[in-house]
Amino acid sequence: MARELSIIAARFCCNCVGGCPRKPSLPPSSRITRSGLWAASSAGSRAWPPALVSPLIDALTTLSSKPSALSRCSSNDTQPCRVSRPKAALILSPTIRTVPAAAFWTIHIKARPALKNHTRIGFSMGSSILTAKDLSKVVPSAEGELTILHELSLELNKGDSLAIVGASGSGKSTLLGLLAGLDLPSSGEVTLAGQALSALDEDQRARIRAEHVGFVFQSFQLLDSLNALENVMLPLELDGRKDARERATELLQRVGLGQRLTHSPRQLSGGEQQRVAIARAFAAEPDVLFADEPTGNLDSHTGERISDLLFELNKESGTTLVLVTHDERLAHRCRRLIRLEAGQMVAPLEP
């Protein structure tokens, strides 16, 4: 039986780790679940939607799989666990920017069956790592049902690179989210790292993402309370890598930020923040890297440099690249290219 995250009770403090002189901003009874967070306090109520809470639970799910980290957690609300600053920051998730950078947590774990036939053993070059079959996504609208994607199929092998291009609103980002398991299709199936995602619950999909996937988001999702080096170290520390600092430093140097290691995101330009996000995405050497406009905020010279890095790392580690981009030069460097129009795939193109 594998241990999976079930329910989290959280107590947030104000930007400290070792102890907090202030009253927690959320009461110990606050509950975070996949359906969102709702908490009542003397100051009123606050709610977080699932879109903000789900990445938080992803991070905690990964943390809960580490016995050394899990042993720090207490089931007693009066004895909250105190985690190190980097882990605490990661727990709060890059997408939750309004929450302090440190927190006290009580984590309730229950036994859940292990993922069927799942292993973290690497995939060999040329073996299938990601497939989509007859994917469709339909959402309700004021005018009735709106079809965002219509019966799209593709297959990617380990080490492949795929560019997804198309006009705004063509379904590119929706497809990226479905392939990564961040959303589920209305019909069809995605198989990632040998697992049919529709057969998994949300925590199991989170585990697949944590073990096999890296992301570069358009909005970067860096933690403001950590400097550039610490942001890149986070996934490495969570994975128990002893060389976290050395690996993070090397990657930041490769993206041209060797002199900016101790700078916070607020001290970096948009292009520099994007380079930190790219370094972080490659830090844990994922099997698949999903990137939404990875060169979108960069000048042409820096964009070319980052493109070179993406394909160097793709070649070195065999990471499969799935890129959404408007950059035709970047798109045509990929081994495969598909163009979307109104949610449908134009005949696949070979660059």
SS3 37: strand
Please check whether residue 192 is in contact with residue 205, taking contact to mean a CB–CB distance below 8 angstroms. Answer: no
Please report, rounded to a whole number, the percentage of residues in the chain having pLDDT higher than 70: 63
Domain boundaries, the chain: 2-112, 128-349
Is residue 101 over pLDDT 80?
no
Query: Strands (DSSP E) along the chain, which ranges?
Result: 2-12, 31-33, 36-41, 44-48, 103-112, 128-141, 144-157, 161-166, 187-192, 195-196, 213-216, 288-292, 320-324, 336-341, 344-349
**The predicted structure's pLDDT at residue 348:** 64
SS3 266: helix
Is residue 190 over pLDDT 60?
yes
The CA-based angle 134-186-169, given to 5 degrees, is 85
Pick the CATH number of 128-349 from 3.40.50.300, 3.40.50.970, 3.40.605.10, 1.10.10.10: 3.40.50.300
Nearest-angstrom CA–CA distance, 44 and 25: 11
Please check whether residue 294 is in contact with residue 323, taking contact to mean a CB–CB distance below 8 angstroms. Answer: yes
Edge-first strand order for the sheet with 195-196 is: 144-157, 128-141, 187-192, 195-196
Is residue 290 over pLDDT 80?
yes
Which pTM value belongs to this model?
A: 0.65
Is residue 29 over pLDDT 70?
no
Is residue 96 over pLDDT 80?
no
Is residue 176 over pLDDT 60?
yes
User: Model confidence at 126, in pLDDT bands (50, 70, 90)?
Assistant: low
Helix 270-283 × helix 244-254 angle, to 10°: 130
